[in-house]
Amino acid sequence: RSTLTGRQVAYLITTNIRWPNGLTIDFDDDRIYWADAWFDRIERASLDGTNREVISTVVHPFALTVHGHYIYWTDWSFRGIYRAEKYSGANMVEMQNNLPYRPMDIHVVSDQRQKCSYSPCNISNGGCSYICKTGLNNQVECGCPSGQQLKLANDQRMCV
């Protein structure tokens, strides 16, 4: 994890992980979930990487998302979409199988998915002419778009 500016990088999971294809955040319970297709399992941990546990052993998970009390994932071997209880992995349900393709991703669209929070970038783009990022202690850090020959002016707000 890091700040939006790419600073304060912290490695959360560094052992016994090989192909972490999917990653999602459970904002209700402050947990991260990931699908590891090498080890054929879905795991979760606290946001700081502690309290790691295997939720379910599945065939070839690729993408996943969490909503309410359930975890949803795609499986490349069965070309399907599955659901199980997010706390235990119990009561797995095959929602769709034999899709004509390997499902690459899955999303839940709901206004309950992530709670809104204050950001200084919400007001007048933080005073930035292009890109506003929040850094340490919610401080604004402006940026310029890549692919253009722009750089921050001396005021650290405008791209010139």
φ, ψ for residue 129 (rounded to 5)? Answer: -75, -25
Report, at the CATH architecture level, how domain 1-115 is classified: 6 Propeller (2.120)
The more confident residue out of 137 and 154 is 154
pLDDT digits (tens, 9 = 90+) for 83-101: 999 999 999 999 998 899 9
Residue 147 zone, left/alpha/beta (φ > 0; ψ -120 to 50; rest): left
The whole-number pLDDT of residue 113 equals 67
Mean pLDDT score of the chain: 90
For residues 21 and 114, give the distance between their C-alpha atoms in angstroms, rounded to a whole number.
21
pLDDT for 40-49, tens place per residue? 999 999 999 9
Is residue 146 very low, low, confident or very high in pLDDT (cuts 50, 70, 90)? confident
Higher model confidence: residue 127 or residue 7? Answer: 127
Count of C-beta atoms within a 10 Å radius of residue 158:
15
pLDDT digits over 6-57, tens only? 888 889 999 999 999 899 999 899 999 999 999 999 999 999 999 999 999 8
49 exposure class (CB count in 10 Å sphere: 0-12, 13-18, 19+): middle
pLDDT top residue among 84 and 139: 84
Banded pLDDT at 106 (limits 50, 70, 90): very high
Enumerate the CATH 2.10.25.10 domain ranges in the chain, comma separated. Answer: 116-160
Indicate the CATH number for domain 116-160: 2.10.25.10
| Burial (CB count within 10 angstroms: exposed 0-12, middle 13-18, buried 19+), residue 35 | buried
CATH 2.120.10.30 residue ranges for the chain: 1-115
Q: Which residue has the higher pLDDT, 110 or 101?
A: 101
pLDDT for the residue numbered 114: 67
